[in-house]
Chains A and B, each alone.
Chain A
Amino acid sequence: MSDHTLNKLPGGYKGMAADMSSDQTAFKGVQWGKTMMWIFLLSDTFIFSCFLISYMKGRASTVVDWPNPSEVFALHVGGVPVPLLLIAIMTFVLITSSGTMALAVKYGYERNRKMCAWLILATALGGLTFVGMQAFEWSKLIHEGVRPWENPFGAKQFGSFFFMITGFHGTHVSIGVIFLFIFARKTFRGDFDTGKRGFFTTMKSDYVAIEILGLYWHFVDLVWVFIFAFFYLW
């Protein structure tokens, strides 16, 4: 739907009622792939919510002291333990990559092919750095004796929730990194300018695909905001 047509539609809740009862497309001005990505992200929200809620329930119902994340995730810099240092760096790396992704989407819509591609590549490298640091964190904790069924710091449930939640999030980041590299290549090659057909679909490529990929990437950052707050800071 063209912007000209969209501009004629009523906005706000009146517009919502009109859109929903229009007996046509409910989500006007939203490409179908974008709608599908949003619906997938909504379902993913429920999956992560279930993980975090089960973590809340596990932590609130155990009668053994919960390990202090501030100490468990501390890094020793020059012999001095700095609480949550690695986690803080990971958080900043992920936010940085989220920012480059937002700019990539903007430059994509401006048809600035090179800028868009470089920013996607930067996003991918940020994601890769994040996954690398997470692998380091995992191996460090495993080395210290943290297992899904036991750990030397306190309540046994700690390990299972840690590996489950950060593992599932890390998987999302890894999948995102793979797609970011693929899309960086597609953008450099000019697929979105020429409308070349992709390997997943026979439909023509369009810069809206970058926004859809961006939605997924921002969601991964969004989930990390909640994990950071509930698992590491609480």
Chain B
Amino acid sequence: MDETQNKQQASTHKIGIYLWIWGLLFVLSFFSYMVDWIGFQGLLRWTLILTFMFLKAGLIMAFFMHLFWERYALVNVLLWPMTAIACFIGLMVAEAKYTAFTRLLYFFTGG
């Protein structure tokens, strides 16, 4: 319905939206570089890095890769598998903590 009509316009008419997204990507990249330049540390640094990263990734996928204009059948097939990656990250965070703990235990106290 709306999606396909938009797609027609987006891929044949509106150059403005691509230029806007392009500009936003530049600004967001500049901001994420500034995080390092200014030297934010700790939780603030990680939050800012992740925020800019997800914004950039979302803009690229939604507009440059046209997902915003695709039908939900394709969008959902592509995005739901990402939850598996999130689970994997969770598992490996726990594993890394355990590995670091055992290393500290055996390297420095000799068990």
**Interchain CB contact under 8 A, B12 and A60:** no
Which of A12, A35, A57, A211 is packed against the most chain B CB atoms within 10 Å? A57
| 0/1 string, A13-56, CB within 8 A of B gives 1 | 10110011000001111100001001000100110010001101
Q: From known contacts A70-B36, A83-B37, infer whether A35 and B74 are also in contact, taking CB-CB under 8 Å.
A: yes
A234 contacts which of B46, B71, B73 (Cβ < 8 Å)?
A: B46
A109 at the interface (CB under 8 A from B): yes
Within B1-21, which residues are at the interface with A (CB < 8 Å)? 1-5, 8, 10-12, 15, 18-19, 21
A11 contacts which of B19, B29, B36, B71 (Cβ < 8 Å)?
A: B71
CB closest chain-B residue, reference A63: B103
**Interchain CB contact under 8 A, B52 and A229:** yes
Residues of A within 8 A of B70 (CB): 29-30
CB closest chain-A residue, reference B46: A234
**Interchain CB contact under 8 A, B74 and A27:** yes
How many Å lie between the Cα of A84 and that of B45 in the bound state? Answer: 16
Residues of A within 8 A of B11 (CB): 105-106, 109
Min distance, Cβ B77 to any Cβ of chain A, angstroms: 8
Interface size on B, residues (CB 8 A): 59
Residues of A within 8 A of B36 (CB): 70, 83-84, 232-233
**Interchain CB contact under 8 A, B29 and A3:** no
**Interchain CB contact under 8 A, B33 and A103:** no
Q: From known contacts A42-B81, A233-B36, infer whether A56 and B92 are also in contact, taking CB-CB under 8 Å.
A: yes
Which of B60, B95, B107 is packed against the most chain A CB atoms within 10 Å? B60
**Interchain CB contact under 8 A, B81 and A60:** no
**Interchain CB contact under 8 A, A98 and B72:** no
**Interchain CB contact under 8 A, A218 and B4:** no
| 0/1 string, A65-107, CB within 8 A of B gives 1 | 0000010000000000001100010011001001101110110
Residues of A within 8 A of B (CB): 3, 6-7, 9-13, 15-16, 19-20, 26-30, 35, 38, 42, 45-46, 49, 53-54, 56-57, 60-63, 70, 83-84, 88, 91-92, 95, 98-99, 101-103, 105-106, 109-110, 211, 214-215, 218-219, 221-222, 225-226, 228-229, 232-234
Residues of B within 8 A of A (CB): 1-5, 8, 10-12, 15, 18-19, 21-22, 25-26, 29, 32-33, 35-37, 45-46, 49-50, 52-53, 56-57, 60-61, 63-66, 70-74, 76-78, 81-82, 85, 88-89, 92-93, 95-97, 99-100, 103-104, 107
**10 A-B pairs with the lowest CB-CB distances in the bound complex, closest first:** A60-B96, A61-B99, A16-B72, A99-B22, A229-B53, A11-B1, A19-B73, A61-B96, A109-B11, A61-B100
